[in-house]
Amino acid sequence: MAEKPQILAELEQEQVNALAGLSMVQEEEALQVWKREYLGKSSKVMLAFSSIGQQPKEIRPLVGQVANQVKQALEAAMDACAVTVHEAALAHKLASEKLDITLPGRRPVSGGLHVQTSVLRRIYDIFAEMGFQVYRSCDVESDEYNFELLNIPAHHPARDMWDTFHVASPGMVLRTHTSPGQIRAMRQYCPEPIRVILPGMCYRYEQISARSEIQFHQVEVLAVGKNITFSDMKGTLNGFVRRLFNADVRTRLRPSYFPFTEPSAEMDVECFVCGGKGCPVCKGSGWLEIMGCGMVHPTVLLNGGYDPEIYSGFAAGMGPERISMLLHKIEDIRYFWGNDVRFLEQF
């Protein structure tokens, strides 16, 4: 009877020793020590695999087979031991803990609406009372809708007013304002008169500060029909502001410029944070701009399908975050996106 090769005898003895050592393991740390000793890179079992090439050619397959069998046997034993060690640790933890079943349960914490959600719903309700309906448009727009159809052709200097995020698809951008929805709404309802608001998220590559963010909500207001005048716009917007804040709120309209309205204006509301005295939110002016507005430009009306000789309209775009800052005397627009529970719980 041929003598068994030494390496095979060593592998079998290593298996016996390992299983004997494993039977003494009772804690996780001891199990990890055992694993490093018998299944680690420098263990006899793992070294046997690397030494196969050094063995006589006729026993190499047998050495590989035995080494693999020993490794699998030790791994299976280790897995079983790990379950036993875990269950023992859990039983010890439960036995050492005291549980008073007479204590009252913990009341679950209920969530609430984000302050911006509440303010947006309030804006929707006010305009709904005025006969406006909500119209949704997409966040990713084509350059044509975001600029060109709004009387901002390529290379127009007015494009510098919007720091644009371009997406991978050529000619597509993250909308810089909700104004592209004007064209979509007009083309859908033309030639009928329309009164819509277009809420949504806008994106601009700007320096983040106490009053500027790279993403923000905007609510567009659009009314198109016959014989609509600047006075209609002023009355509508003043009525909205007084319902939103209070009947005594002070507002002002300042001449401005927007490519898609003519004439154009900006509406300011007295800063409620500082009471008109000047603060970082209002840049020391005592006033906070809440919207731009104006009569819809004839070119935009024409692009929307309306004859500017027959129809007229007004449009406005407001920032709900700034409105929230006025309503709740919030001093930093970055709080809206910080997800700080201390801030959110106040509302």
The number of domains in the chain is 2
**pLDDT, tens digit, 9 for 90 and up, residues 88-145:** 888 888 777 777 778 888 888 788 889 999 999 999 999 999 999 999 999 999 999 9
Provide the 3-class DSSP secondary structure of residue 314: strand
Position 38 pLDDT exceeds 60: yes
Q: Is the dihedral of CA 13, 14, 19, 23 positive or negative?
A: positive
Instruction: Give the up-direction half-sphere exposure of residue 128: CA atoms within 13 A in the CB hemisphere.
Output: 8
Share above pLDDT 70 across residues of the chain, in percent, rounded to a whole number:
97
If asked whether residues 257 and 165 sit together in one domain, one would say yes
Are 88 and 133 part of one and the same domain?
no
Helix ranges (H only) for the chain are 6-22, 28-39, 44-50, 60-96, 115-129, 143-146, 180-189, 230-244, 298-303, 320-328, 341-344
Coil, helix or strand at residue 110: coil
Confidence band, pLDDT 50/70/90 cuts, at residue 179: very high
Span 319-332, pLDDT tens digits: 888 888 878 888 88
Residue 215 sits in the same domain as residue 306: yes
Q: What is the mean pLDDT of residues 15-35?
A: 87
Does the structure show a pLDDT above 50 at 73?
Answer: yes
62/131 same-domain check = no
pLDDT at 119: 93
Residue 162 and residue 121 share a domain: yes
Would you place residue 2 in the very low, low, confident or very high pLDDT band (cuts 50, 70, 90)? Answer: low
The answer to whether 270 and 286 are in contact (CB under 8 A) is yes
Task: Give the structural domain span for 23.
Answer: 6-96
Which residue, 161, 158, 199, is CA-closest to 181? Answer: 199
Q: Is residue 238 part of a domain?
A: yes
| Same domain flag for 157 and 300 | yes
Of 316 and 283, which is predicted with more confidence? Answer: 316
What mean pLDDT comes out for the span 201-227?
87
Q: Verify that 327 and 233 share a domain, yes or no.
A: yes
> Residue 1: what pLDDT?
44
| Least reliable range by pLDDT among 56-65, 77-86, 118-127, 292-301 | 56-65
221 with 337, same domain: the answer is: yes
Per the CB < 8 A criterion, the answer to whether 199 and 217 are in contact is yes
Q: The pTM is what?
A: 0.65
